[in-house]
Structures are given as structure tokens and as C-alpha cells.
């Protein structure tokens, strides 16, 4: 349930109401925006009637029953865009953030060479897998802890925060010691024990959409992480499985505005895993930014033909450089698309 307060409702009134609902066993999430103040109630609100709530304060403007199964991730609970801060790099709220790097960490030289080049092109963070969830058990599985050490050294050299995938709950503590953002991959989007474990860390989480997951299931996976106390979740659309086989996946562009309407978390797009083919990465990246994505995660390899994983979809550094300048121009054309999506039910409050 969301309680929208009247404009100018005093803070003391919100505190009084918060105490009342907390004493009923509910958790209360207040948000004070420019034109509105709201209290989001999480818990069993079935028994609370609208008239009972309305009678508890003359400063209540209206009461909205949240129809979605997600609460903490809902726009109604948190009308402004969430901005996630990774060591000073901001994601969401109108920032355009680029994450780039190889699919897998293969060697120190490989990571250092790619890191220097993507940084020079304007990447804000470095990606690289040390634990790879491969379809075949015979494929390269990653350098594991040695890979984490290489990523850490690349951060020391370039200053770029590191994003890497975590594939099992027992590795969370170790991986969190080395890197800045924990990536939960498509194959693990509904690995609920992994979601709960990363939710107990204080690291930002990059949560990728499962290849057959609905938008609601993606947001519910974010809700798992948030319900454990970690609000720093970045959602990633990386293509879904359809009947089409020409591309590796089908990039669901409509997921971007749909998630923006439902949820306040930043949405980034991975055009590399969506396409599976390097020459389609730039067009998909442009479409994603035009549709309002908060950033991109792109696979880049200095020698794609020799890559141990996902070479076919990896851009050479010079192609990535071109992509960044192209998408920056697109973002500049329509800055509005990156602006706030405060839901009308809440926003209209202060404007009436
Ligand atoms: C990856 O980012 O390298 C990866 C395995 O992605 P996904 O989980 O989207 O397939
Ligand atoms: Mn990959």
C-alpha cells in the first residue's frame, strides 16, 4: 500500500503515521520528493481498509493499493529514479554509463590491453568473467581466483571499478573481496539462494534478465535482493529466447520503457549477448539508448578471433570507440527520454 500525503504535510505527521504502521507489524518506506511525500507500506496490508487508513491523518491525500507483487522495486514506492553509485560512477537518473571488457579473463596481458583501450574510449567500468557459466562442461570455465586477482590489478592500473559474474552463493564472500559490482547472470536470475546471498552484501548487483524470464519475473528477482537489505540493483536486458535463430537472442527493446514505468532501478542493455554477432552490436546499442537505457555493457576483445569465449560477438576496441561516440550523439538528441518517470498517480499530487 502507498499513502500519498498532501503537499506540505509536516515531517512529524509522517513520523507519527510510520510509528503507527510499524506497531502493526508493517515496514514503512518514506520518500520525500519535490512535489510529493509518500509512505510505502510493506507487509500484510490486506486487513487494513482504506477508510481506516484515511481516518488516521487529515494530511493523507490518497491511498493506492499496489497491484504488482513487487514492492521495494516498485515505482509507486520510490517514484524517482534510483541512482546507484559504484565508487563514484553513477548509474541511473539520467547518467549514461558504459561497462566494457572481455567476456572472460584470459590473461593479465589480455585484460590490461583491453582495459586501457576501453578506458580511453570512455568506458566507466571494466567487465570480465573469472567464473564462466558455460553451456558445455568442456568449454573454458574461467581463471577463477587468479582471474579475480587480474581484475583487481586492472582496477589499480586504470581506476575503473570492476564488474564480474558470481555463479554460486559460496563464492560471494571471496568475489566481493576483489570486485565492485557482482553480476548475477541470465542463467542464475532465479537462483533464489544466490539472490538472497548477494542481497546480504553491500555491493551493487548487476542482475541480468533470464533468457526466458518475463519482465515481472526479472523485477521479482530484484525484489529478492532488495528484501535482504541491498537496494543497489542494476537491471540488465540482454535478449530473450524466441523462435528466431539468426541472432543468439532477441533484444527486447520494449522491456526498457516497460521496466522504467514499473520500477525505479536503472536499466542497462547488453547488446553483445543479445546479438551474438559483432556487427549487430552497434545498431542494437543505438536502439537501446534511444529507448531510454541508462547504459550499456559491451564485450570487447583486442583479438576476437582468439577469444576463449564469445569472440563472435566481441567488438575490437576501435569499433567500441565508434559505438560510444555514436550512442552519445543519440542520447543527446532526446535527453527527455532519460528523464524521470514519476508515475502520474503520485506526481499529479503536487500539481493539482
Ligand atoms: C556474460 O555477461 O558474460 C554472460 C554470461 O551473460 P548472460 O548471463 O547474459 O548470458
Ligand atoms: Mn559472454
What's the pLDDT at 334? 78
Distance CA 332, CA 268 (A): 17
- From the list 189, 229, 227, 228, the residue with the least C-alpha distance to 206 is 189
Q: State if residue 208 touches ligand 1 by the CB under 6 angstroms criterion.
A: yes
Between CA 242 and CA 244 the distance in angstroms is 5
**H-helix or E-strand spanning residue 176:** helix 172-178
Q: Would you call 108 exposed, middle or buried from its count of C-beta atoms within 10 A (0-12, 13-18, 19+)?
A: middle
Ligand 1 contact, 129 CB (< 6 A) = yes
| CA of residue 266 to ligand 1 center, whole Å | 18
DSSP codes joined into one string, 229-292: T---EEEEE--B--S--SSSSB--TTHHHHHHHHB-S-EEE-HHHHHSSGGGHHHHHHHHHHTT
CATH (domain of 97): 3.20.20.70
Say if 345 falls within a structural domain. no
282 lies in the same domain as 186: yes
Q: What confidence score (pLDDT) does residue 338 get?
A: 66
Same domain as 275, residue 149: yes
The rounded distance, in Å, linking the Cα atoms of 89 and 180 is 11
| Segments of the chain with pLDDT less than 50 | 349-352
Strand partners, 3: 39, 63
> Torsions phi, psi of 206, nearest 5?
-100, 110
- pLDDT, residue 351, reads 40
Residue among 123, 250, 230 nearest 172 (CA): 230
Query: Taking the CB of residue 109, how many other CB atoms lie within 10 A of it?
Result: 10
Distance of CA 287 to the CA centre of its chain: 18
pTM over 0.85: yes
pLDDT, residue 348, reads 58
Which residue out of 141, 191, 208, 307 has the highest number of ligand 1 atoms within 8 Å of its CB and is therefore the one to mutate? 208
Say if residue 329 is in the same domain as residue 257.
Answer: yes
pLDDT at 335: 74
Which helix (H) or strand (E) covers residue 300, if one does? Answer: none
The DSSP code for 74 is B
The residues, ordered by sequence, that sit 6+ positions from 149 with a Cβ below 8 Å of its Cβ are: 178
Q: Are residues 250 and 131 in the same domain?
A: yes
49 and 169 housed in the same domain: no
Distance 185 CA to ligand 1 centre (A): 5
27 lies in the same domain as 104: no
Q: What is residue 33's predicted lDDT score, i.e. its pLDDT?
A: 78
Q: Do 131 and 180 fall into the same domain? A: yes
In the block, which residue shows the cell 541512482? 83
Clarify whether residues 143 and 41 are in a common domain. Answer: no
Rg (alpha carbons) of the chain, rounded to whole number: 21
Range of the domain at 209: 84-339
27-43 pLDDT, tens digit each: 999 988 777 899 999 98
Nearest CA to ligand 1 atom 9: 186
**pLDDT for position 36:** 82
Tell me if 76 is assigned to some domain: no
Largest Cα–Cα distance in the chain? 69
CA distances 34 to 117, 141, 168, 343, 349, Å, are 41, 49, 41, 13, 11
- Which CATH number goes with the domain that contains 34? 3.30.70.1140
Domain boundary (34, 65, 96) is at 65
pLDDT (0 to 100) of residue 352: 36
pLDDT score, position 350 = 43
Amino acid at each position: 500500500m502507498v499513502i500519498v500525503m498532501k503537499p506540505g504535510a509536516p515531517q512529524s505527521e509522517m513520523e507519527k503515521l510510520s510509528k503507527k504502521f510499524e506497531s502493526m507489524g508493517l515496514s514503512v518506506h518514506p520518500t520525500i520528493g519535490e512535489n510529493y511525500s509518500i509512505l510505502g507500506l510493506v507487509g500484510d496490508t490486506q486487513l487494513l481498509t482504506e477508510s481506516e487508513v484515511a481516518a488516521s491523518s487529515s494530511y493523507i491525500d490518497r491511498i493506492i493499493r499496489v497491484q504488482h507483487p513487487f514492492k521495494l522495486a516498485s515505482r509507486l514506492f520510490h517514484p524517482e529514479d534510483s541512482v546507484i553509485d559504484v565508487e563514484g560512477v553513477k548509474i541511473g537518473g539520467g547518467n549514461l554509463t558504459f561497462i566494457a571488457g572481455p567476456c572472460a579473463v584470459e590473461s593479465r596481458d589480455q585484460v590490461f590491453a583491453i582495459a586501457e583501450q576501453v578506458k580511453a574510449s570512455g568506458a566507466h567500468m571494466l567487465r570480465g568473467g573469472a567464473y564462466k557459466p558455460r553451456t558445455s562442461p568442456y568449454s573454458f570455465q574461467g581463471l577463477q581466483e587468479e582471474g579475480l586477482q587480474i581484475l583487481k590489478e586492472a582496477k589499480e592500473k586504470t581506476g575503473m571499478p570492476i564488474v564480474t559474474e558470481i555463479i554460486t552463493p559460496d563464492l560471494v564472500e571471496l568475489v566481493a573481496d576483489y570486485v565492485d559490482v557482482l553480476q548475477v547472470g541470465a542463467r542464475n536470475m532465479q537462483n533464489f539462494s544466490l539472490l538472497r546471498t548477494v542481497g546480504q552484501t553491500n555491493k551493487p548487483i548487476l542482475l541480468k534478465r533470464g533468457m526466458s524470464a518475463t519482465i515481472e519475473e526479472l523485477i521479482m528477482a530484484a525484489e529478492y535482493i532488495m528484501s535482504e537489505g541491498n537496494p543497489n540493483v542494476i537491471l540488465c536486458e540482454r535478449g530473450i529466447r524466441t523462435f528466431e535463430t539468426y541472432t543468439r537472442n532477441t533484444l527486447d527493446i520494449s522491456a526498457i520503457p516497460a521496466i522504467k514505468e514499473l520500477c525505479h532501478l536503472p536499466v542497462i542493455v547488453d547488446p553483445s549477448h543479445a546479438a551474438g554477432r559483432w556487427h549487430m552490436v552497434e545498431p542494437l546499442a543505438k536502439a537501446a539508448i534511444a529507448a531510454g537505457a541508462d547504459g550499456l555493457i559491451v564485450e570487447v576483445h583486442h583479438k576476437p578471433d582468439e577469444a576463449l569465449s564469445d569472440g563472435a560477438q566481441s567488438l575490437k576496441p576501435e569499433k567500441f570507440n565508434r559505438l560510444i561516440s555514436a550512442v552519445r550523439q543519440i542520447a543527446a538528441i532526446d535527453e527527455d527520454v532519460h528523464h524521470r518517470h514519476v508515475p502520474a498517480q503520485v506526481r499529479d499530487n503536487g500539481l493539482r
